[in-house]
């Protein structure tokens, strides 16, 4: 596969160390792109799950691929999230072209982009950490069960089904939580005169312009590598949401180009 040159790739909520993580797919995606900057926007490694003693080879390959990208000149920014908040004590650490921080601001074509995970907006993270961790464990087992069921559905020729997505869509509280999260991030970005605000945390890939009485901002979310298998890419002066399924189209284009060269 030919690597696609992009300026920035943003991924978040990989949750390495959990059953729900699609590590193999993420490695394939990272091998398909050559960004100038790779932003890991929180919850890449799930420190909450380390007590499971579960960290297979595929998860190690994600780390290996990221390290490989740094050796090839890619600037890598690791921004901490709530599941890897243990790293916040080392915030502002720098080694060659690897940066560890809680947030960053970048200038993109004369516009300012603000990147951070987003758990600072989550009341439950700050005041009921134990409950949040229990919820995280329950979510992981939900995703594991969902994956087993989807394997069965695939065998009988049925479309995959997402329990978590269905729950989010059907529970009004979850919908309101997402809307409140996005609006809070937007208002804070507008107040600080940012053009883009880029988050993770809620596992909901998004690109939309949010307008308030004080101004407008482009809100973006990179989604996750548990359910959506999504990333944000910046090129041609614009942001794009990339889903892992798109790789099939990229592979097909590469095959077509090779055939054209042979002919």
Cβ atoms of 114 and 151 within 8 Å: the answer is: no
Residues contacting 17, CB < 8 A, separation 6+: 45, 46, 47, 49, 50, 52, 54, 55, 59
Name residue 39's beta-bridge partners. 10, 77
In this prediction the pTM is 0.78
To the nearest whole number, what is the mean pLDDT of the chain? 83
Asked if residue 10 lies in contact with residue 41, where contact means CB atoms within 8 angstroms, the answer is: yes
Check if the beta carbon of residue 9 is closer than 8 Å to that of residue 231: yes
d(Cα 160, Cα 244) in Å, to the nearest integer? 15
CA distance 128 to 131: 5
- Mean per-residue pLDDT for 99-127? 86
Provide the pLDDT confidence category of residue 171 given band limits of 50, 70 and 90.
Answer: very low
Q: Which of 46, 27, 263 is nearest to 143 (CA)?
A: 46
Backbone angles phi, psi at 223, to 5 degrees: 80, -130
Residue 252, pLDDT score: 42
Instruction: Name the residue with tokens 């300026």.
Output: 7
- Joined tokens for residue 171: 């529970």
The residues, ordered by sequence, that sit 6+ positions from 181 with a Cβ below 8 Å of its Cβ are 118, 121, 122, 199, 201, 202
How many folded domains does the chain comprise?
Answer: 1
CATH number at residue 135: 3.60.21.10
- Rounded to the nearest 10 degrees, what angle do helices 163-170 and 172-191 cross at? 80
- Give the pLDDT score at 182: 92
Instruction: Identify the domain containing residue 153 by its residue range.
Output: 4-262
Would you state the pLDDT for residue 248?
67
């Amino acid at each position: 596969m030919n690597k696609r040159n992009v300026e920035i790739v943003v991924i978040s909520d990989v949750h390495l160390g959990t059953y729900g993580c699609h590590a193999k797919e993420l490695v394939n995606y990272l091998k398909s792109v050559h960004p100038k900057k790779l932003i890991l926007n929180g919850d890449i490694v799930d420190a909450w799950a380390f007590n499971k003693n579960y960290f297979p080879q595929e998860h190690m390959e994600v780390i290996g691929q990221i390290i490989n990208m740094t050796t090839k000149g890619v600037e890598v920014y690791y921004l901490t999230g709530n599941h890897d908040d243990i790293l916040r004590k080392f915030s502002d650490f720098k080694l060659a072209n690897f940066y560890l921080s809680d947030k960053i601001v970048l200038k993109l074509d004369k516009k300012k982009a603000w990147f951070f995970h987003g758990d600072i907006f989550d009341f439950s993270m700050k005041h009921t950490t134990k409950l949040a961790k229990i919820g995280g464990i329950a979510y992981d087992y939900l995703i594991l069960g969902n994956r087993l069921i989807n394997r069965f559905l695939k065998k009988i020729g049925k479309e995959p089904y997402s329990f978590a997505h269905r729950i989010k869509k059907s529970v009004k509280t979850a919908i309101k939580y997402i809307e409140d999260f996005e609006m809070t991030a937007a208002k804070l970005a507008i107040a600080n005169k940012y053009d883009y605000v880029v988050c993770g945390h809620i596992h909901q890939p998004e690109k939309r312009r949010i307008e308030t009485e004080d101004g407008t901002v482009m809100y973006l979310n990179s989604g996750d590598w548990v359910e959506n298998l999504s990333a944000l890419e910046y090129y041609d002066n614009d942001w794009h949401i990339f889903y892992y399924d798109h790789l099939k189209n990229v592979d097909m284009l590469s095959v077509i180009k090779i055939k054209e060269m042979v002919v």
